[in-house]
Each structure stands twice: as structure tokens, then as C-alpha cells.
Structure 1
Amino acid sequence: MEHLWDISPPVHAQSPVFPGDTQYAQQWSARIGPGCPVNVSSITTTPHVGAHADAPLHYDPHGEPIGAVDLGAYLGPCRVIHAIGRGPLVRWDDLAHATDGLPARVLVRTYERMPVDRWDPELAAFDAATIERLADAGVRLVGIDTASIDPAASKDLPSHQAVRRRGLRVLENLVLDDVPEGDYELIALPLKWMTADASPVRAVLRRP
């Protein structure tokens, strides 16, 4: 039987979000009962909740919303590289042991255990020079197991801006705790939200 690694954290009312962002909330507008055959709910949330894909619009005022981006980057061969405890910035040397013949998608594990139940203000992020080196190597998508590819307190977002310049796509908040280093197929398609700056994804890996 084919094995899938589900690398998406659970999403619920206690899911951590960037301080000041919109928490996940769900309200029931209909419940199964006399005269009602279905449950129906509405959801309020930031699109950056859980595992998510940033749109260019998130870091570029003229960038594409997530519903307009090409899906090719979010589906295909990828490599998981461990850089556990290498923060606050993941540098090229932290990845160099696994960079021969890189596929177009690279996911980086920085946590021993990803904190799915709390916000981490000390999250590890990418050094912008690492993004540039990955782009030079032909990488089209970068992912990380923290809430941002830039430090939580950053105001100039150098790694997001490197992604913007180089045309890369971004996945954040992945759970890579139980994923060995190596090559996989990534499936992490964003929703077709035509005006949104991001989209939650159900990210999974499988062996090619």
C-alpha cells in the first residue's frame, strides 16, 4: 500500500497564527434535526492558517493573488532537507550536504518537533542568500516547517523579497517531524481564491 506523509498541521480554533492575524473560527448556520437534513457552517480565518501557500500578492502590491498562480510549482518532485536547530537563519551551508541534483521543490525541516499548538516568536527562517542560491540551482518552490520564511520580527522581509525577485513559490507551516531526508513527490495545491494573498493547502508527500 502506498505511503503518504501528511505534512499539514491540524486547523481549529486553537491553531496559532501570526500575532494580530485572524484566528480560525467556525459557526453553524444549520444543524441536522427536524426539518433540516444537513449540517452547514461558515468559517472565518486568515488564509495563512495551518500549512499554506503565500501568493505573490502577500509581499508585492502588484503581485498575483493565489487563485491566479500557476499550479505547477505545487505538484511534483521535491527534496526534504534537515536543518534542525540551525536557526535563526538557515544558510546555504546548512543545506549543502543534500543539494546535489536538487529537484524544483525544496522543503526544509528546522524543528525537532513542530509546535502545532503555539506561536513561536523565535521561529527559524531562511537567509535571503539561501533563497538566491536555491533559485540559482533551479528551485521553483521553497517550503519550511515554521510560520514564515523570514524572522517573525522582520519588517523588510528579505527572503520574501528574494522570492519575489526570483519568481519562486512559498509553502509555510509544514509538519516535517516524521519525514526522513530524501526525495518525494509533493502535492500541495492552493485553493482558487481569486483575490486572496494566500491559501491553506493540504500538503502531502509520497515516494516517487
Structure 2
Amino acid sequence: MKRLWDISPLVAPDAPIFPGDEPYALRWTARLSPDCPVNLSALSMSPHVGAHADAPLHYADGVASAAEVDLHPYLGPCRVIHAIGCGALIRIEHLAHAAADLPERVLVRCMQRADTVWNPNFTAYAPETVAWLAERGVRLIGLDTPSVDPASSKTLDSHQQLLRLDLRVLENLVLDDVPEGDYELIALPLKLAGACASPVRAVLRSL
């Protein structure tokens, strides 16, 4: 059987989130009892908690929501490239060693261990790296930190590159145990009407 790597963090009340985001919360609306045959729960959370796919609507108006994005970029051949300890930004030189015959999906492992508490000093993508990947046919990029832009950014230059180049993105992945190499990615967003992002259960499968 093909091996699966679950690259999604646990979604829980203490999951690290951007300051101001809505944390995950669960409440019970019904519980098993002599008068009730089921447990029923209700959830509230930002769609950016845990592993998630930003929709273009997250960084522009009048563009696709999570329910409207093409699903093709989120499913198919993928390369995991290690750039562990590369610093504040993923630059072209951090990826060049694995750039031959890139598939349409590239995930970058920046960390030995994904953060389990909020850390504003995470690694993001340099915008020129996003453009360089797009020039090589990449349609989706991802990483094991909260955002493709630094936490302090007000211009979101890498997100704007995604918009300009029509790329998709996965953030908050867990690549701790994933060797560098090629896989099949499965990380479909939910069909959430009007949402700026969607949680995903991201997995990699051996080829």
C-alpha cells in the first residue's frame, strides 16, 4: 500500500493563530440520552486555523471565494523541498537544488518542528521566489508556517504575487517527518460560500 503522511496540525482551542483571528471552539447542541439518539456539535473558528487554503478573496475584492476556486491545484504531483533554517524569507537559492522538472505543486519545509504556539518570527516567501516558481509551471505553493508573508507585512507582497500569477497556497502545514522528494498531494478546500479561506485535511501519498 502507498504510504500516507498527514501534514495537517490538530485543530484545537489552543492552536496557534494570528492575533485577532477567531480561535477554534466547539459546543454541544445535543448529547446522547434516553431522549436523544445522537451527539451533535457546533463549531466556530477562523478558516485560517490549522492547515488551510487561502482563497483569492483573502487578499482582493471581487475574486474567487473558497467555494469558487478550481480544485485541480490542490490534488496531484507535488514536491517537498527542504529549506530548514533559511531565515526570514524563502529565497530562490534555497530551492534551486531541487528545481529540476518541478511538478505543479511545491511545499517548502522551513522548520525542524512546526510551531505549536504563536510565533510572529516565522519564515515566509520572498515575492521573487513566488514569481520564479510560477515561471517554472508551479500552480500551488505551500509551507509549514502561518503565512507566505511576514506577520508584520501590511502590503502582503507575496500574496499579491499569488493574485497576479493566479497561484494557490496552503499554509500552516506540518512537514516535520516528510523527507525531501516527490509525492501526491491531496488537500481539497471545503465548498464554503463567500469564505476567504478553507480548512483542509492535507495529506501526502507516496508515488
Calculate the TM-score normalised by the size of structure 1: 0.98
1:199 match: secondary structure: strand
Which residue number in structure 2 is paired with residue 20 of structure 1? 20
Please, which runs of 5 or more residues in structure 2 have no aligned partner? none
What is the alpha-carbon root mean square deviation over aligned residues? 0.6
Runs in 1 of length 4+ with deviation above 2 angstroms? none
Amino acid at match of 1:97: H
Q: Tell me, in whole angstroms, the C-alpha distance in 1 between the residues paired with 2:151 and 2:82.
A: 21
Q: Tell me, in whole angstroms, the C-alpha distance in 2 between the residues paired with 1:182 and 1:166.
A: 25
Amino acid at match of 2:89: L
Amino acid at match of 2:18: F
Amino acid at match of 1:89: L
Please, which runs of 5 or more residues in structure 1 have no aligned partner? none
Q: Tell me, in whole angstroms, the C-alpha distance in 2 between the residues paired with 1:112 and 1:68.
A: 34
Render the CA deviation track for 1:60-91: whole Å, top value 9, x for unaligned: 11221010011000000000000001020000
Which residue number in structure 2 is paired with residue 189 of structure 1? 188
1:18 match: secondary structure: coil
Q: How does 1:1-208 map to 2 (within 5 A)?
A: 1-115=1-115, 117-208=116-207
Amino acid at match of 1:33: S
Q: Tell me, in whole angstroms, the C-alpha distance in 1 between the residues paired with 2:40 and 2:12.
A: 17
Q: Tell me, in whole angstroms, the C-alpha distance in 1 between the residues paired with 2:26 and 2:70.
A: 30
Amino acid at match of 1:114: A
Calculate the TM-score normalised by the size of structure 2: 0.99
